[in-house]
Amino acid sequence: MSGLSHGIINAPDEDGCDPSTPRSTNNELDPMHRTLENLARLVRGRLLLIAMVSAWLTAADARAEYRLATFRVDVTCPIGHPLLGRRQGIAKTIADPLYAHGFVLLGAGPPIALVAVDWCEIRNGAYDHWRDLLATAAGTSTERVILCAVHQHDAPLADLGAEKLLAEVGMGGEMFDVAFFKQTGQRIADGLRNSLPRAQRITHLGLGQARVQSIASNRRVVLADGSVTFRRGSNGAADRINREADDGLIDPWLKTISFWDGPRPVAALNAYAVHPMSHYGRGEVSADFVGMARKRHAADTAPAFQMYVSGCSGDVTAGKYNDASRANRPRLADRLYQALRLAWKNTRVQPLEQVGFRTTRLDLEFRKDVEFSAQSMRRVLENRETNRKARVLAAMGLSTRHYLSRGPSIEMPCIDFGPAQIVLFPGESFVGYQLLAQKMRADSFVMSIGFGQCWTGYLPTQAAFADGFQGFWLWVAPGAEPRIQQALGRVLGPVRQQP
C-alpha cells in the first residue's frame, strides 16, 4: 500500500564485517593483529545489527499496544416485520441480508466499541438498551460505545417507549417486534464478546478519501421564482426540476480510516454522507446500494474487515440521480464502490501513536408547536379514527417527551487518533454540521457519522430553518446549531500546531 514504508537495516556483509566500516589496507600488520582486528570488526558488526534490530523492535512494541477485534452479525428481520415503523409497510421478501458491523479498540484505556447497524433508526430507550448490552459485552462503560444506524428505509426502526404506548391503545407490534429487537441486541453483544479473543495487533493508521461521482444531492432546491423547497427526496429524479437542479450543499468525499498491523490491513471504516436508498417501500428488506458496494469492496480487500457508516445526511439524498427504478440500484452501488476502491488506493499509512477518547453532553429542545404538545399527541394516539401512521408518529413524539423528562442528554463521542477524529452526531443531522466539524479541525482528517441517538429525526441547521424547513419527521426545535458547535469544540480537540 502506498505511503507505508519500512526502514532497511544494513546487515553485515558475508564475512561478518559492518559494510560501513572501512577495510584496512595495511599489509604490514602481523597475522595475529589482523586476526584480532577482523574479530573486532565481526563483534562490532554483530553488536550494531543487534542494537538496530532491538531499536526497531522497541519502536514496534511501542506502536503495538493497540489491538482491534472485529465482528459481523446478521440482523435481518423476519417476514412480516414492520419496516421503518410500518411507514414502509411490512417485510414481504428478503432481497439481501442486514448486518451489524463493529469493532472494539483495545489498549486505549477502557475498550472503545463502534457498531453500525443496517436498520433505519434506533431511538430513545431502545438506543440505551443496546448500548448497555454492548458495553457489558465489551467490558467498558456505556459512554465508550458508539452506536449508529446506517438508515436504510427497508429495515426496522426501534423505540421501546413508543411501542409500549402503542400496545396500550391496542396497536402492539405496529412499530417493531420487541422480542426480536431484544434477541437481536443480545446476538450483537454476543458477537462482540466472542470477537475479543481474536483481537489483532494494530500498529498503523491509514487515511484515504475519494470524490464520489453522481450520487449525493441536497434536498434543498431553488425554484424558478426564487422560492426554496426541500422536496427532493431519495427517489426524486423522476421530477424534471429535481433532476436539473444542481447538487446543492453536499460533502462529495468518501472518507476511509483503516487499521494496520505493519504492512497488513486489518480493518477499515468508510463514511459517506447520503441517504442510503434507491427503490424502497415495496416490502423488500435490503441493505440497499450501500450494502451492495460494501460487500463488493470487502471481497476485493479480504481478509481486511470493511465497515460502512452514513455521514450527516439528513438533507442529502440520491434524489437528483435516482428515479427509484430497480435498474438504478446497481448503478448507484457501482459509483459508491468505485469511490471505496479509490479511497483504499489513495490511503496513506502512518504509525498509530495515540488514541484518545472524549465525549460531551448535548441538550436539544423538543418542538414547541401546539400539535407536538403532549396533550395534542395523546389525542392523536388514542383516536381510533385517526390513520395508523399518524398514531405511530404521535407515539414516537410522546416517547421522546417521556424520555427527555427523565433527564438524559444526547452523547456526542469522539475517537481522537491525533491526525484523524471520528465524531458521532445524533439523528438525521444535516450535512452542514459535518462540514462545520471539518472547518473547525481543518488541520485534521475528520470523519463524521450520523444517525446516533435518533429521537431528533431531522436535525436542520439554522440556515435550513430560516429557509422554512419543516417535516413530520422533525422533533427538535430551532436553536440546535450553536449548541452543536459548542459540543464539537469540546470533543474535537484543539487545532494542532504545524511544525
Interval 391-396 mean pLDDT: 97
The pLDDT of residue 155 is 98
Interval 274-291 mean pLDDT: 97
Per the CB < 8 A criterion, the answer to whether 308 and 294 are in contact is yes
Per the CB < 8 A criterion, the answer to whether 340 and 254 are in contact is yes
User: 52-61, 298-307, 337-346 — which is least confidently predicted?
Assistant: 52-61
Interval 91-115 mean pLDDT: 98
Between 409 and 22, name the one with better pLDDT: 409
Q: What's the rounded Cα separation, in Å, for the pair 476 and 372? A: 10
Q: How many CB atoms lie within 10 A of CB 285?
A: 25
Interval 119-133 mean pLDDT: 98
Between 285 and 32, name the one with better pLDDT: 285
Interval 350-378 mean pLDDT: 97
Interval 77-97 mean pLDDT: 96
The pLDDT of residue 8 is above 90:
no
H helices of 16-153, in order, are 31-63, 124-138
The pLDDT of residue 59 is above 70:
no
Interval 113-117 mean pLDDT: 99
Per-residue pLDDT tens over the stretch 148-158: 999 999 999 99
The pLDDT of residue 422 is above 90:
yes
Phi and psi dihedrals of 368, rounded to 5?
A: -105, 0
H helices of 306-457, in order, are 328-345, 374-382, 388-405, 431-440
Q: What's the rounded Cα separation, in Å, for the pair 35 and 440? A: 67
Q: Is 240 helix (H, G, I), strand (E, B) or coil?
A: helix
Per the CB < 8 A criterion, the answer to whether 19 and 12 are in contact is yes
Q: Is the peptide bond before 460 cis (omega within 30 degrees of 0)?
A: no
The pLDDT of residue 311 is above 80:
yes
The pLDDT of residue 35 is above 80:
no
Q: How confident is the model at residue 25 (pLDDT cuts 50, 70, 90)?
A: very low
User: 7-21, 29-43, 161-175, 361-375 — which is least confidently predicted?
Assistant: 7-21
The pLDDT of residue 277 is above 90:
yes
Alpha-carbon Rg of the chain, whole angstroms?
27
Q: How confident is the model at residue 497 (pLDDT cuts 50, 70, 90)?
A: confident
The pLDDT of residue 286 is above 50:
yes
Between 293 and 7, name the one with better pLDDT: 293
Give 490's Cβ-side CA count (13 Å radius): 14
The pLDDT of residue 79 is 98
Residue with cell 448490552: 133
Give 465's Cβ-side CA count (13 Å radius): 15
Across 422-457, b (16+ Cβ under 10 Å) vs e yields bbbbbbbbbbbbbbbbbebbeebbbbbbbbbbbbbb
User: 9-13, 88-92, 363-367, 389-393 — which is least confidently predicted?
Assistant: 9-13
- Strands 66-74 and 99-106 turn out to be antiparallel
DSSP string for residues in 146-210: EEEE---SSS-EEEHHHHHHHHHTT-TTSS--HHHHHHHHHHHHHHHHHHGGG-EEE-EEEEEEE
Q: How confident is the model at residue 499 (pLDDT cuts 50, 70, 90)?
A: low
Q: What's the rounded Cα separation, in Å, for the pair 112 and 114? A: 7
Per-residue pLDDT tens over the stretch 317-340: 999 999 999 999 999 999 999 999
Per the CB < 8 A criterion, the answer to whether 450 and 311 are in contact is yes
> What counts of helices (H) and strands (E) characterise the chain?
12, 24
Is the pTM above the cut of 0.75?
yes
Between 59 and 73, name the one with better pLDDT: 73
Cell of 385: 379514527
Residue with cell 434543498: 220
The pLDDT of residue 391 is 97
- Smallest Cα–Cα separation from 319: which of 248, 270, 228, 226? 248
Q: What's the rounded Cα separation, in Å, for the pair 294 and 136? A: 28
Between 55 and 283, name the one with better pLDDT: 283
Q: Is 414 helix (H, G, I), strand (E, B) or coil?
A: strand
Per-residue pLDDT tens over the stretch 197-209: 999 999 999 999 9
The pLDDT of residue 19 is 32
Asked whether the CA dihedral 233, 237, 240, 244 is positive or negative, the reply is positive
* Average confidence score pLDDT of the chain: 89
The pLDDT of residue 408 is 85
Phi and psi dihedrals of 447, rounded to 5?
A: -105, 120
Q: How many CB atoms lie within 10 A of CB 138?
A: 26
Interval 340-362 mean pLDDT: 98
**In the 8-state DSSP scheme, what is residue 123?**
E
Cα–Cα distances (Å) from 18 to 11, 44, 49, 72, 171, in that order, read: 7, 7, 9, 51, 82
The pLDDT of residue 280 is 94
DSSP string for residues in 380-412: HHH-TTS-HHHHHHHHHHHHHHHHHHT-PPEEE
Domain definitions of the chain by residue range:
66-369+390-491
The pLDDT of residue 32 is 43
- Smallest Cα–Cα separation from 155: which of 90, 72, 102, 235? 90
Q: How confident is the model at residue 405 (pLDDT cuts 50, 70, 90)?
A: very high
Cell of 234: 431519495
Per the CB < 8 A criterion, the answer to whether 109 and 86 are in contact is no
Interval 159-170 mean pLDDT: 98
